[in-house]
């Protein structure tokens, strides 16, 4: 494609995206295509001859779009908000257009230095102290893996430089709550701890990790000759947005010499509001903290902010430094290839920079406050209406709710009923929710926070919920 062709089609595509966002509310939220429906319309072999780009765009419209679930739809209340604000989409475009590989300072000094600046901005925005230094990782899953690798290496005094875990005399143990995200267990497995050495600690009635059970587990492990290594606390769990007692975790971490990693993937954005910072009190004592600007904050996926207290330790764990990557300024600069797993790095700082400047901190705070207000409004409606139950504390923007048609219904029938109305809403195309299970109860999660979601859509959702409880549809298999 020549620059002139790029100009031609690029303008068309920008127009297309602008129209798409403008009219998105008219689309069905969830894609209803059946498995295989998209791939069967596409040739199984790549084209030998060049194809007309206009034809490719037309196929995008006809074949691909029906298979898209619209995450930026104002009535998207499923999973979590994954806001791709348009200004951050422009940041993505710039990043791809520049085609930068930001592995080292020298491979594009601005990519590194802008990342340093925006990570300092973000640190200030969420109220972390200057003891923390930030770096962008692709996802929370990767950042948690990096954290557990760092924990492993601290406990083993850099065992990776010798025999690794294979020569440790005692197995190392990781602790987290049974409500933590699956990425925590996955990271522990990938970091070599082994499933036998991952303790999923029970939670209390608020779905927060129980410190008494954590301490008991640590002591039992020590008595059994195991070596406690790391604890991962969550601020805003995926299922119900519950909060672990971070200050309590920090105290135990200090006492038993554990690495404390805080996963605030979703709720970290709420820390832009000073009044919410009490929720992660103690975070200053964590060794590492992550949150996902690619969720609620509005940076187009992917962008995880990862903060550590000891960047020298991170670099020691992550760096390889072969001759072909060395430069004569290495002692003066940050080479972010040494701050994570990947070598090649996209210029993600651009989209963060665009978003923060275009919105201003006050603009971002206002949107997050709006979403929290909308959540509070819906919570109050549900609480004021008989036969509806909120099953978990509503601390941020997630509501776990179920409808109880009659008190003598069995849990199985209740599950059937709640899955049925959620399915009816999702299939109506008018909104999209995620069913889940909290403490053995079938619930439906309402996650508020898409940039385009206003009070109107939240009101419409509540109306729809009350209509759809009368559905007779069969429950889905999720």
Ligand X SMILES: Cc1ncc(COP(=O)(O)O)c(C=O)c1O
Q: Which is nearer to ligand X, 265 or 464 (CB)?
A: 265
Q: Which is nearer to ligand X, 270 or 464 (CB)?
A: 270
Q: Which is nearer to ligand X, 203 or 304 (CB)?
A: 304
d(CA 402, CA 389): 5
- Closest approach of ligand X to the CB of residue 262, in Å: 10
d(CA 409, CA 137): 47
Question: Which range in 133-141, 219-227, 273-281, 456-464 contacts ligand X by CB under 6 A?
Answer: 133-141
Q: Which is nearer to ligand X, 186 or 370 (CB)?
A: 186
Q: Which is nearer to ligand X, 335 or 434 (CB)?
A: 434
Using CB under 6 A as the binding rule, whether residue 203 contacts ligand X is answered as no
Q: Which is nearer to ligand X, 75 or 177 (CB)?
A: 177
d(CA 81, CA 130): 29
d(CA 250, CA 448): 30
Among 88, 141, 156, 434, binds ligand X (CB under 6 A): 141
Among 76, 80, 175, 280, binds ligand X (CB under 6 A): 80
- Residue from 32, 287, 19 nearest 150 by CA: 287
- CA diameter of the chain: 75
Among 183, 309, 335, 426, binds ligand X (CB under 6 A): 183
Residues numbered 395 to 434 that lie near ligand X (CB under 6 A) are none
Q: How many residues bind ligand X (CB under 6 A)?
A: 14
Distance, C-alpha 350 to centroid of its chain: 19
Q: Return the DSSP state at 287.
A: S
Among 89, 125, 140, 246, binds ligand X (CB under 6 A): 140
Among 139, 311, 428, 471, binds ligand X (CB under 6 A): 139
Q: Which is nearer to ligand X, 242 or 350 (CB)?
A: 242
Q: Return the DSSP state at 431.
A: -
Question: Which range in 93-101, 135-143, 189-197, 206-214 contacts ligand X by CB under 6 A?
Answer: 135-143
Question: Which range in 62-70, 84-92, 94-102, 263-271 contacts ligand X by CB under 6 A?
Answer: 263-271
d(CA 94, CA 442): 44
- Closest approach of ligand X to the CB of residue 161, in Å: 28
Residues numbered 291 to 310 that lie near ligand X (CB under 6 A) are 292, 304
- Closest approach of ligand X to the CB of residue 371, in Å: 16
Binding mask 10-39 for ligand X (x = CB under 6 A): ------------------------------
Buried b (16+ CB within 10 A) or exposed e, 358-385: bbeeeebbebbebbbebbeebeebbeee
- Residue from 82, 105, 104, 108 nearest 95 by CA: 108
Using CB under 6 A as the binding rule, whether residue 181 contacts ligand X is answered as yes
Query: What is the CA angle 45-48-51, rounded to 5?
Result: 100
Among 238, 240, 359, 426, binds ligand X (CB under 6 A): 238
d(CA 389, CA 392): 9
Q: Which is nearer to ligand X, 301 or 354 (CB)?
A: 301
Question: Which range in 6-14, 94-102, 134-142, 413-421 contacts ligand X by CB under 6 A?
Answer: 134-142
d(CA 241, CA 15): 37
Place of tokens 């898409």: 450
- Closest approach of ligand X to the CB of residue 299, in Å: 12
d(CA 279, CA 267): 10
Among 174, 246, 266, 378, binds ligand X (CB under 6 A): 266
Query: 6: which 2 tokens?
Result: 């790029």
Q: Which is nearer to ligand X, 290 or 464 (CB)?
A: 290
d(CA 242, CA 235): 7
Question: Which range in 258-266, 319-327, 356-364, 452-460 contacts ligand X by CB under 6 A?
Answer: 258-266
Using CB under 6 A as the binding rule, whether residue 147 contacts ligand X is answered as no
Using CB under 6 A as the binding rule, whether residue 234 contacts ligand X is answered as yes
Using CB under 6 A as the binding rule, whether residue 72 contacts ligand X is answered as no
Q: Is 22 exposed, middle or buried (0-12, 13-18, 19+ CB in 10 A)?
A: exposed
Buried b (16+ CB within 10 A) or exposed e, 397-411: bbbbbbbeeeeeeee
- Closest approach of ligand X to the CB of residue 156, in Å: 25
Q: φ, ψ for residue 384 (rounded to 5)?
A: -85, 0
Phi-psi region of 95 (alpha: psi -120 to 50; beta: other; left: phi over 0): alpha
Task: Using CB under 6 A, list all residues that contact ligand X.
Answer: 80, 139-141, 181, 183, 234, 237-238, 263, 265-266, 292, 304
């Amino acid at each position: 494609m020549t620059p002139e062709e790029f100009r031609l089609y690029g303008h068309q595509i920008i127009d297309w995206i602008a129209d798409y966002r403008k009219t998105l509310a008219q689309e069905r939220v969830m894609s209803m295509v059946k498995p295989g429906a998209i791939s069967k319309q596409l040739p199984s072999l790549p084209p030998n001859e060049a194809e007309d780009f206009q034809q490719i765009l037309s196929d995008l419209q006809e074949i691909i779009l029906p298979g898209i679930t619209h995450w930026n739809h104002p009535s998207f209340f499923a999973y979590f908000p994954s806001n791709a604000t348009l200004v951050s989409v422009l940041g993505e475009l710039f990043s791809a257009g520049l085609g930068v590989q930001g592995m080292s300072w020298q491979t594009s000094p601005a990519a590194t230095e802008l990342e340093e600046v925006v990570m300092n901005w973000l640190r200030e925005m969420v109220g972390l102290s200057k003891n923390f230094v930030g770096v962008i990782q692709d996802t929370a899953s990767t950042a948690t893996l990096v954290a557990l690798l760092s924990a492993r290496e601290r406990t083993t005094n850099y065992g990776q430089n010798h025999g690794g875990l294979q020569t440790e005399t005692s197995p190392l143990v990781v602790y987290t709550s049974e409500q933590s995200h699956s990425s925590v267990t996955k990271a522990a497995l990938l970091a070599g701890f082994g499933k036998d050495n991952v303790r999923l600690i029970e939670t209390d009635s608020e779905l927060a990790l129980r410190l008494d059970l954590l301490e008991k587990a640590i002591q039992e492990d020590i008595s059994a000759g195991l070596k406690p290594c790391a604890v991962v606390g969550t601020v805003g769990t995926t299922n119900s947005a519950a909060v672990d007692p971070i200050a309590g975790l920090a105290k135990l971490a200090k006492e038993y010499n554990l690495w404390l990693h805080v996963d605030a993937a979703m709720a970290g954005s709420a820390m832009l509001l000073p009044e919410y910072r009490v929720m992660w009190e103690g975070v200053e004592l964590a060794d590492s903290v992550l949150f996902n600007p690619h969720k609620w904050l509005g940076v187009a996926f992917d962008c995880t902010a990862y903060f550590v207290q000891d960047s020298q330790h991170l670099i020691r764990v992550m760096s390889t430094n072969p001759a072909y990557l060395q430069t004569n300024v290495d002692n003066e600069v940050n080479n972010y290839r040494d701050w994570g797993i990947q070598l090649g790095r996209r210029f993600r700082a651009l989209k963060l920079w665009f978003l923060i400047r275009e919105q201003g901190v006050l603009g971002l705070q206002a949107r997050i406050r709006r979403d929290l207000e909308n959540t509070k409004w819906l919570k109050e409606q549900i609480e004021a209406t008989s036969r509806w139950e909120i099953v978990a504390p509503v601390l941020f923007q997630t509501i776990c709710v179920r409808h109880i048609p009659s008190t003598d219904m069995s849990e199985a029938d209740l599950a059937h009923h709640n899955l049925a109305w959620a399915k009816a809403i999702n299939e109506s195309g008018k909104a999209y929710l995620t069913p889940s299970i909290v403490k053995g109860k079938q619930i439906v999660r309402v996650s508020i926070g898409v940039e385009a979601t206003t009070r109107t859509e939240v009101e419409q959702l509540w109306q729809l919920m009350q209509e759809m409880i009368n559905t007779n549809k069969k429950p889905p298999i999720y």
